[in-house]
């Protein structure tokens, strides 16, 4: 059992005099679950990393104030015993693994914990059981889906068995059912006496197990009352299944004929035919690891497949790659992978200069930049942005390109509600100007006005559904 | 054979052939390595690769000796290039990098941070390869076509490698890796006594060839 107390914490980046937050005074008691919520880039991840003593060591920032673990200043605690007590799960699991697969990563962690050999096997088995990761633990990380990696990361946290658990957007890429199961697991951990602190943009499903909701306001993080919390949670109520129509005779853009896709030995899609329609937004959903991202990779010719895919009636195998990418674009799940310039401004200007088709006017683009909150960040290096800010920049840059078909892989991951609305407006405007969009998203709220059709991927089949 | 001992044996042989001029030894090394590689089911493609790639430096050295030195010495130098390549290939094909790291850490008392640093560096080559592919793809999506000669490609990959190395260190720390702190080992690697015997015999045989021929 451990109590964590934060006193007058302030943090600013070395090149910026304005603190990203100050006067943070918070208390976290054992057997509680606290949620930290706020707009992208307000410093939620930074706050967690300061608590985990990873910042300012691994970034260029200056913090002042004190953090106490059971009344002891955390800077006075020996490194290893500190790490045994406070463990953190990163927002991007790729940045947390240093071995090739989950099993090796678990061993590596347990060796660092100095457990004897026989205890390591036992711990590993327990952790695999807790995260329900037995079927993916030996697979190399680069073959796992985003949600599967998050489950492995959670198993490792369980194996470390710390008193204080910090989770940064732990369920951003897991499907709704898995989210339900994992939030149940958090409750289990809480009842074991752990102190749990979660950063999440999506508040759905927490209302029954949370103790404390902390909101970012006026440059600081503050707990809000139970009543105010409940009002906040209501914004995230998942509306009952939303009706949508099944396409019928619309003009076809992408035609998939008898396609089969595998990932290694695993069959993802088997002998399936489906069409995507011009000028509509189609949502694709399916469980973690069902092959949604692999389907996207297939559509951009980066994953082998059997069968035939036609873009505007032309077999894509016969279209030269440079020409093909003028027609079809993708917003990658991992924002980092999208950028090819150094600063935010350069990235946007490149898209304006190199666009395939002018979808937006200059005034519209300037408005998007402002509404997304990117205006003050124009000269920043893209790597220094928060995950949510990167996501916004990434979507804006790709929309400006004006591809006739745009694939968006988890475009709302790590993005706050207000920005989701702005992104929705942008996507909708692009659609009214003729763009075809296919979206993979686990996040279900705010999709109502955006999505025209819904396709599920389950049992190796893609199928249109009447609701989502 | 233990990967660390194997590495030491190969290094000793490589140093010896660097300072001696023995054509027969070079040929024996090439043939024995080739046999080991075939026994380890090396693919025809890799085999062709290691035969063809050293041809340029080998012929270069041979030609230089032909003009300015002696033909005999030229042949020795050319076969030496092949002997190096075959020795190296034999090592990488028969030893796993993970086991090498484990034995270096456990038996050779290499500090864990170096051991995992080496492992990281080995993974880095693969990471950079993927990174370059990814950057090309991302650029193509933006109507920028990067070729082998585009500086942007290298600038970006170096940027992301630097970024990646910092993230790796942070990730390791988050999984409780603390520099200079003792660790336990799940997989104990003990060097078999027979491995020492093998090593001594191999080095002894090399000396015999050197003296006799």
What is the per-residue pLDDT across A181-190, written as a single tens digit (0 to 9) for each? Answer: 889 999 999 9
Averaged confidence pLDDT in chain A: 92
Going from the C-alpha of B99 to that of each of A268, B47, B94, the distances in angstroms are 34, 24, 11
Q: What whole-number distance in Å separates Cα of residue A288 and Cα of residue A446?
A: 21
Residues B136 and B38 occupy one common structural domain: no
pLDDT tops 90 at residue A122: yes
More confident residue, A18 or B34: B34
Convert B151-174 to b/e letters by CB count within 10 Å (16 or more is b). Answer: eebeebbebbeeebeebbbbbbbb
A vs B, Cβ pairs < 8 A, gives: 116
pLDDT band at B10; cut points 50, 70, 90: very high
Whether residues B87 and B160 share a domain: the answer is: no
ipTM value, please give it.
Answer: 0.84
Looking at the structure, tell me whether residues B89 and B47 fall in a common domain: yes
Residues from chain A contacting residue B135 (CB–CB below 8 Å): 340
Are B25 and B54 part of one and the same domain?
A: yes
Among the partner-chain residues B142, B170, B183, the one whose CB lies closest to the CB of A114 is: B183
Cross-chain Cβ contact B141/A330 below 8 Å: yes
pLDDT-derived band at A374, boundaries 50, 70, 90 = very high
Q: Which residue of B has its CA nearest to A158?
A: B175
- Convert the pLDDT of each residue in A55-77 to its tens digit: 988 887 888 999 999 999 999 99
Residue B180 lies in a domain: no
CA diameter of chain A: 69
B130 shares its domain with B38: no
* Beta strand pairing call for A212-217 and A220-224: antiparallel
Contact criterion met (CB below 8 Å) for A149 and A141: yes
Substitution target from A53, A89, A111, A408 for chain B, most B beta carbons within 10 A = A111
Q: State how far the Cα of A21 lies from the Cα of A43, in Å rounded to an integer.
A: 7
Query: Quick one: B83 and B65 in the same domain?
Result: yes
- Shared domain for B198 and B99, answered yes or no, is yes
CB atoms within 10 A of CB A386: 20
| CB-nearest partner of B171 from A95, A120, A326 | A95
Contact A336 B139 (CB under 8 A): no
Q: What is the mean pLDDT of residues A352-364?
A: 95
Segment (H or E) for A24: strand A21-28
Strand order in the sheet with A405-409: A328-331, A405-409, A436-440, A281-285, A453-458, A461-465
Looking at the structure of chain B, the number of domains it has is 2
**Residue A80 touches partner B, C-beta closer than 8 Å:** yes
Over residues B16-40, mean pLDDT: 92
Structural domain range at position B41: 3-103+190-212
Kindly report, residue by residue over A393-441, the tens digit of the pLDDT: 999 999 999 999 999 999 998 888 889 999 999 999 999 999 999 999 9
Question: What contacts 24+ positions apart, CB below 8 Å, involve B71-78?
Answer: B72/B23, B73/B21, B75/B23, B76/B21, B76/B22, B76/B23, B76/B26
- Contact: B160, A336; criterion CB under 8 Å: yes
Cβ atoms within 10 A of the Cβ of B128, count? Answer: 16
Lowest mean pLDDT among A78-82, A130-134, A287-291, A389-393: A287-291
In a domain, B179, yes or no: no
Secondary structure class of A343 (helix, strand, coil): strand
Query: Buried b vs exposed e over A255-285: b needs ≥16 C-beta within 10 Å?
Result: bbeebebbbeeeebbeebebbbbbbbbbbbb
- For residues B132 and B88, membership in a common domain is answered with no
Collapsing DSSP to helix, strand or coil, A72 comes out as: strand
Asked if B197 and B99 sit in the same domain, the reply is yes
Which of B99, B102, B142 is most worth mutating to test chain A (most A CB atoms within 10 A of its CB)? B142
B7 and B85, same domain (yes or no):
yes
Distance in angstroms (rounded) separating the CA atoms of residues B14 and B61: 18
Q: Is residue B185 part of a domain?
A: no
Contact A195, A2 (CB under 8 A): yes
Chain B residue nearest residue A100, CA to CA: B123
Cα gap B27→B31, rounded to integer Å: 6
Residue B39: per-residue pLDDT: 92
Contact A54 B152 (CB under 8 A): no
Same domain for B95 and B12: yes
Contact A404, A323 (CB under 8 A): no
Instruction: Looking at the structure, tell me whether residues B8 and B99 fall in a common domain.
Output: yes
CA–CA dist B161, B128 (Å, integer): 7
């Amino acid at each position: 059992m451990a109590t964590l107390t934060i006193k007058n914490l302030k943090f600013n980046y070395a090149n910026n005099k304005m603190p990203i937050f100050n006067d943070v005074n918070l208390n976290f008691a054992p057997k509680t679950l606290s949620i930290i919520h706020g707009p992208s880039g307000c410093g939620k991840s930074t706050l967690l990393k300061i608590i985990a003593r990873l910042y300012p060591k691994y970034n260029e920032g200056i913090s002042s104030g004190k953090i106490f673990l059971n009344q002891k200043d955390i800077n006075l605690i020996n490194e290893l015993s500190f790490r045994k007590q406070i463990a953190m799960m990163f927002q991007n699991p790729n940045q947390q693994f240093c071995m090739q697969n989950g099993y090796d990563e678990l061993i590596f962690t347990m060796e660092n914990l100095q457990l004897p050999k026989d205890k390591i096997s036992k711990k590993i088995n327990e952790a695999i059981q807790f995260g329900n990761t037995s079927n993916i633990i030996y697979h190399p990380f680069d073959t796992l889906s985003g949600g599967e990696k998050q489950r492995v990361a959670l198993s490792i946290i369980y194996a470390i068995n710390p008193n204080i658990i910090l989770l940064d957007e732990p369920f951003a890429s897991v499907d709704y059912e898995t989210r339900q199961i994992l939030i149940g697991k958090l409750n289990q951990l809480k009842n074991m006496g752990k102190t749990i602190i979660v950063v999440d943009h999506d508040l759905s499903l927490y209302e029954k197990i949370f103790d404390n909701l902390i909101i970012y306001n006026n440059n600081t993080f503050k707990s809000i009352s139970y009543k105010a919390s409940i009002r906040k949670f209501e914004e995230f109520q998942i509306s009952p299944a939303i009706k949508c129509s099944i396409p019928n005779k619309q003009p076809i853009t992408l035609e998939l004929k008898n396609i089969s896709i595998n990932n290694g030995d695993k069959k993802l899609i088997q002998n399936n035919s489906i069409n995507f329609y011009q000028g509509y937004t189609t949502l694709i959903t399916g469980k973690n690891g069902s092959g949604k991202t692999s389907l996207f990779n297939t559509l951009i010719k980066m994953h082998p497949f059997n069968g035939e895919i036609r873009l505007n009636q032309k077999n894509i195998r016969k279209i030269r790659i440079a020409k093909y990418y003028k027609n079809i674009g993708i917003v990658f799940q991992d924002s980092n992978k999208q950028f090819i310039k150094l600063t935010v401004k350069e990235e946007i200007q490149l898209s304006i200069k190199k666009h395939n088709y002018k979808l937006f006017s200059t005034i519209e683009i300037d408005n998007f930049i402002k509404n997304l909150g990117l205006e003050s960040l124009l000269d920043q290096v893209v790597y220094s942005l928060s995950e949510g800010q990167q996501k916004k920049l990434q979507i804006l840059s790709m929309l400006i390109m004006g591809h006739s078909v745009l694939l968006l892989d988890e475009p709302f991951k790590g993005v706050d509600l207000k920005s989701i609305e702005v992104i929705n407006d942008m996507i909708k405007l692009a659609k009214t100007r003729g763009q075809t969009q296919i979206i993979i998203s686990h996040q279900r709220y705010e999709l109502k006005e955006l999505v025209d059709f819904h396709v599920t991927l389950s049992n190796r089949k893609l199928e249109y559904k009447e609701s989502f | 054979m233990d990967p660390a001992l194997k590495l030491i044996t190969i290094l000793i042989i490589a140093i010896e052939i660097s300072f001696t001029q023995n054509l027969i030894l070079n040929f024996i090394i090439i043939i024995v390595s080739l046999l080991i590689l075939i026994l380890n089911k090396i693919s025809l493609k890799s085999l062709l690769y290691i035969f063809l790639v050293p041809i340029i430096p080998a012929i270069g050295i041979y030609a230089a000796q032909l003009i300015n030195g002696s033909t005999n010495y030229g042949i020795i130098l050319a076969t030496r290039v092949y002997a190096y390549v075959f020795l190296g290939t034999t090592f990488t094909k028969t030893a796993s990098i993970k086991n090498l790291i484990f034995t270096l850490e456990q038996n050779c008392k290499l500090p864990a941070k170096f051991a995992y640093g080496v492992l990281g560096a080995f993974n880095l080559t693969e990471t950079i390869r993927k990174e370059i592919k990814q950057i090309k793809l991302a650029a193509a999506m933006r109507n920028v076509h990067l070729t082998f000669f585009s500086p942007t490609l290298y600038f970006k990959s170096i940027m992301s490698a630097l970024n990646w190395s910092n993230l790796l260190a942070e990730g390791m720390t988050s999984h409780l890796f603390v520099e200079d702190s003792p660790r336990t080992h799940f997989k104990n690697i003990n060097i078999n006594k027979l491995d020492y015997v093998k090593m001594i015999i191999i080095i002894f045989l090399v000396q015999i060839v050197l003296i006799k021929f």
